[in-house]
Structure 1
């Protein structure tokens, strides 16, 4: 089902319940990078916290943390995640964990001055995952976050979004939004609809609020683990989703 020699991108989410576990996870934001750097097969990785509510807020969610990583292929990723102590320890400490396996189809921009994703010549199919990463200029951070609560409400109410989460490396200024949609058409309709999201994008572009940005699209290949008590069916398009996907430009 999965193809070799194609870069694997994994998003691993961990939910911690107890105060002790949350303190441990917070500490790992500083210390886990050493163990991850020691994994020979890992290409790049990012340790991230998350936002509260729908995830797209400046208020941190102290229960949820994420590891975004890239690998030579899915098989290599799985072997490392099940064999390396750092990932085993995260699973042991967490109440819930879920990993989404992705293949990059397109990417534009940079992350920390580098291009972490290697787009493959593939048909994305259905569903489609979107990732936006940006470094917000500190002087406009308050303006930027003034737009976000309205966007968060719109995303949360959208019946088509299959999964969404807001994560980030540094609170307030380095943010990542990740979402999964039934197809390109529904994702495009949300992005282009004249509402809080479209107005925020226009404000960002007009004001040049971002110091650095990256937009990427992925094929969703597999999901392992549970989130909110169940394993989301993210690799299957809902029956109510809009058919006939169309191409969509990055936000």
Structure 2
């Protein structure tokens, strides 16, 4: 089970969270499965972290992440699956990064599969390393044009790690099998403790139906009732651009 923003009604729109800095107005999410020959390069991304991205114009926030085996949610780390989450101050800088940044070009060149998603937040709650995304998009109606996306992340208190991961398999299985879920990827900044999920949905109705599912509701109640998280962030997005493929499926 990864922390999930899909539970209940969408969080109220706001431009910032009190006491946090801005993570930007536009987000870019990158999922990459590096070629087997680039395995060492893939591990190097985690060692270097944000350093290769210093000086990228308009960049306000960045996280370089690993993933579970196969790009999923398991405890066994993948040697090739990697993720990037970037916040930009405006859409112009974000689109320029996607089109021309040598850093992203290097990720694509080393990957056998890569998906890039440009998106604006339609609702946001919480923070990530003390930063919060600005809400700059209008949420679509339940059956409005899709797809829509969600990013959920949390820092898990060490004393609750065992309990948190005990809830994981049924919630993850229900997400992978949920009607209308087009993509679900498990990501993480640090093994066990700092976890993230990206999901892409046909429309809001499909996302909300999953939010009401039994395994998901049980996991959320346990996590929040037990105070498992020291920090969490839940964001719904309106994608502006999908470019590439993930797990054999083309998007965009």
Secondary structure of 1:145 counterpart: helix
Determine the structure 2 residue equivalent to 1:79.
Answer: 96
**1:32–1:86 CA contact under 8 A, matched in 2:** no
> How do residues 35-184 of structure 1 correspond to structure 2 at under 5 angstroms?
35-52=52-69, 55-115=72-132, 117-124=133-140, 125=144, 126-184=146-204
Q: Is 1:202 equivalent to 2:218 in the alignment?
A: no
Closer, same or farther in 2 for the Cα pair 1:90/1:164, shift >3 Å?
same
Q: What whole-Å deviation, never above 9, does each CA across 1:74-119 have from its counterpart, x for those lacking one? A: 332232233232222111111111101111111111111221x110
Q: Which has the higher contact order (CA 8 A, sep 6+)?
A: 2
Secondary structure of 1:162 counterpart: strand
Tell me how far 1:17 sits from its aligned partner.
2.5
Closer, same or farther in 2 for the Cα pair 1:21/1:53, shift >3 Å?
closer
Tell me how far 1:193 sits from its aligned partner.
2.0
Which consecutive residues of structure 2, in runs of 5 or more, have no partner in the other structure? 1-23
In the superposition, the TM-score normalised over structure 2's length comes to 0.83
Closer, same or farther in 2 for the Cα pair 1:119/1:58, shift >3 Å?
same
Tell me how far 1:52 sits from its aligned partner.
2.5
Q: Is 1:14 equivalent to 2:32 in the alignment?
A: yes
Cα distance in 1 for partners of 2:231, 2:249 equals: 35
Between the two proteins, the alignment pairs up a number of residues equal to: 225
Cα distance in 2 for partners of 1:123, 1:140 equals: 34
Q: Is 1:25 equivalent to 2:42 in the alignment?
A: yes
Tell me how far 1:32 sits from its aligned partner.
4.6
Secondary structure of 1:231 counterpart: strand
Secondary structure of 1:119 counterpart: coil
Cα distance in 2 for partners of 1:228, 1:131 equals: 18
**2:137–2:238 CA contact under 8 A, matched in 1:** no
List structure 1 runs of 4+ shifted beyond 6 angstroms: none
**1:47–1:66 CA contact under 8 A, matched in 2:** yes
Higher share in strand: 2
Cα distance in 2 for partners of 1:85, 1:57 equals: 31
In the superposition, the TM-score normalised over structure 1's length comes to 0.83
Cα distance in 1 for partners of 2:206, 2:212 equals: 10
Tell me how far 1:53 sits from its aligned partner.
5.1
Closer, same or farther in 2 for the Cα pair 1:74/1:231, shift >3 Å?
farther
